[in-house]
Amino acid sequence: MRKLLLGFLLLLFFSELLSAKNSDEGAVVFMYHRFGDSRYPSTNIRMEQFEKHLQYLSQNDYKVWSLSKIVRHIIEGREIPKKVVALTIDDAYKSIYTNAFTKFKEYNFPFTVFVNSTSADSGSKNYMSWDEMREMQAFGAEFANHSKTHDYMLPQEGEDEHSWKKRIKEQIEGAQKRLQEELGETTNENPKLFSYPFGEYTKESAEYIQSLGYIGITQTSGAIGMHSDTRTLPRFAMSEAYADMDGFTLKIKTLPLPIDSVSSIEPLVKEQNPPKLTIKLKYPVKNVGCYLSSGKAITVEWASDREFSVQADEALKAPRDRYTCTASAEEGRWYWYSHLWIVK
């Protein structure tokens, strides 16, 4: 009887572990800015690079979803199937319309553009017009909130909490108003998506933006899973230097690191520099390695097989750095988690 009970408990344990692993399949979201605009290599992707990305997705049976569809699955607790990808673009630059749109139509892939509304209102030749966005919307593109003027979400020098919250609310609600006036009242409504300008946020700003009803989208790398924090969903940034096919195919196969909790989502480095980050896992993983943005390895200190801490051995430098942790997964894939640090 005791052997039967032990066998049942072991079966239950491994069933729950397998279920937890299956629920962490997740989705990978890529972020672009400019297309075929060699004047700005740090935010541009060459068209031949972009073409290869789309070809790979098409030839390898990836499911390209809108970002809102992925987020709805997370909010509603619905499992995300394997090989789901979203293509997102920040800032609504003109080259999206002149260069990339034809390719999206050719492959029949949906995409999400985050718009700072003042740029669209300006009539500048560097940004898409509302008419061009409406044309893309008719194809199936979706448009989301990137603030009115691409303003910082962090409190600025001399700004008290009331003034800061007032500014943030005006930035977000002002952009949302213009999106819905120009593109329809249901635009960016279910769910409401907000991409942090410059990819920067604090714990306080993420919580405040969440209280306004928005899902926060970052520029911090990693895959999105069923248990990802909807205040700070990650994306992999694509630009000329980081868009080669080796890097693209590595990132597209990543899984969200199975995190139970992190010591804090706060990215702002305050008194302690270098900062310490502690991660608790839902289940053990193998070959954990953590790195700075430069690629320099950080020592991993284990408290148990499901909890570890990392802390760089020297102070982080302004304006930003990251701790990125990876671990080996099945089928040659990698778990991935990245934590942003903002150094003032």
Question: Which string of DSSP letters, residue by residue, matches 221-235?
Answer: -B-B-TT--TTSB--
Packing angle, helices 130-139 and 161-183, rounded to 10: 70
Position 9 scores a pLDDT of 39
Strands, E assignment, the chain: 27-32, 34-35, 44-45, 63-64, 84-90, 112-115, 142-145, 192-195, 214-217, 236-237, 255-256, 259-262, 276-281, 286-291, 297-298, 300-304, 307-311, 320-328, 334-342
pLDDT band for 2, please (50, 70, 90 cuts).
low
Maximum pairwise Cα distance, the chain: 78
Question: Could you tell me which residues come within 8 angstroms of residue 30 by beta carbon, excluding any fewer than 6 positions away?
Answer: 53, 85, 86, 87, 88, 235, 236, 237, 238, 251
**pLDDT tens, position by position, 90-114:** 999 999 999 999 999 999 999 999 9
Q: What is the dihedral of CA 120, 42, 246, 107, to 10 degrees?
A: 20
Domains belonging to the chain, first-starting first, are 24-254 (3.20.20.370), 261-342 (2.60.40.10)
Percentage above 90 pLDDT, the chain: 92
Strand 142-145 and strand 112-115: the pairing is: parallel
Q: Which two tokens stand for residue 21?
A: 């692993």
Distance between CA atoms of residues 152 and 137, nearest Å: 28
Closest CA to 219 of 319, 133, 287, 119: 319
**pLDDT tens, position by position, 160-173:** 999 999 999 999 99
Residue 326 confidence (pLDDT) above 80: yes
Residue type, 74: I
Residue 190 confidence (pLDDT) above 60: yes
Distance between CA atoms of residues 322 and 343, nearest Å: 11
Distance between CA atoms of residues 151 and 153, nearest Å: 6
Question: Could you tell me which residues come within 8 angstroms of residue 288 by beta carbon, excluding any fewer than 6 positions away?
Answer: 300, 308, 325, 326, 327
**pLDDT tens, position by position, 249-266:** 999 999 999 999 999 999
**pLDDT tens, position by position, 5-46:** 444 433 434 434 444 454 568 999 999 999 999 999 999 999
Q: Which residue has the tokens 């293509």?
A: 87
**pLDDT tens, position by position, 57-96:** 999 999 999 999 999 999 999 999 999 999 999 999 999 9
Query: 202 burial class (0-12, 13-18, 19+ CB within 10 angstroms)?
Result: middle
Note whether 161 and 131 are within 8 A (CB).
no
Position 21 scores a pLDDT of 52
